[in-house]
Amino acid sequence: MKVGIMGGTFDPIHQGHLLAAERAREEAGLDEVWFMPSSTPPHKPNAPKASAEQRLRMVEAAIADNRYFRAETLEIRRGGTSYTVDTVRELKLQYPGIDFFYIIGADMVQYLPNWVRIGELVGMIKFIGLARPGYSSEVGLLPISIRGSVLSASMPQVGISSTMIRDMRKSGKSVRYLVPDPVLFYIEENRLYES
């Protein structure tokens, strides 16, 4: 069984995340994609705006109607800073029969050389990289030691980010269609990202 891990802060989850997961699933022939909200992301200066529980609820709401998608709470349960290398090690121990792939957008493809213990990580898992406006997902630009571990899947460029959604909420704008409706309802009900 082949499983893609879609890791992220998901503050909130949006259509770009969902499309990336679906394109990766189809192009790499994945049986499932597991969405894994991080506890504290290592590379971000500010703490997430929404709580781990709220970010998980939004992920669950977004993927409920897709039988290939599920939510994985490993990083939230572990707490602290979420290093992918620790997570992948745990997943492989817990599910020895599963072939894992880690799904990332182009911003993260570019950033790969800076990931904590990347040398160890590329020995454990393959990445699937997807396009994102403003970043290059060109694998050839990566150091040789990393290049061979990154597969590419194609997707239309989607210029949506969680930051954009938080900013739009803050200035009172509608985020309808940027996030799936169930996520929109959750955001409005809980008055998230208003300030």
Site for ligand ATP, rule CB under 6 A: 8-11, 16-17, 20, 104-105, 107-108, 130, 132, 158, 160-163
Please state the closest distance from residue 97 (CB atom) to ligand ATP, in A.
Answer: 25
Judged by beta carbon, residue 94 or residue 163, the one nearer ligand ATP is 163
Please state the closest distance from residue 96 (CB atom) to ligand ATP, in A.
Answer: 25
Query: What residues pair up with 6 in beta bridges, in sequence order?
Result: 35, 103
Please state the closest distance from residue 135 (CB atom) to ligand ATP, in A.
Answer: 8
What is the spatial distance between Cα 126 and Cα 148, in angstroms, rounded to a whole number? 8
Residue whose beta carbon is closest to ligand ATP: 105
Judged by beta carbon, residue 42 or residue 119, the one nearer ligand ATP is 42
Judged by beta carbon, residue 57 or residue 93, the one nearer ligand ATP is 57
Nearest CA to 122 out of 147, 92, 91, 152 is that of 147
Report how far apart, in Å, the C-alpha atoms of 43 and of each of 97, 152, 178 are.
31, 23, 24
**Tokens in use for 48?**
């997430």
**Tokens in use for 139?**
């694998």
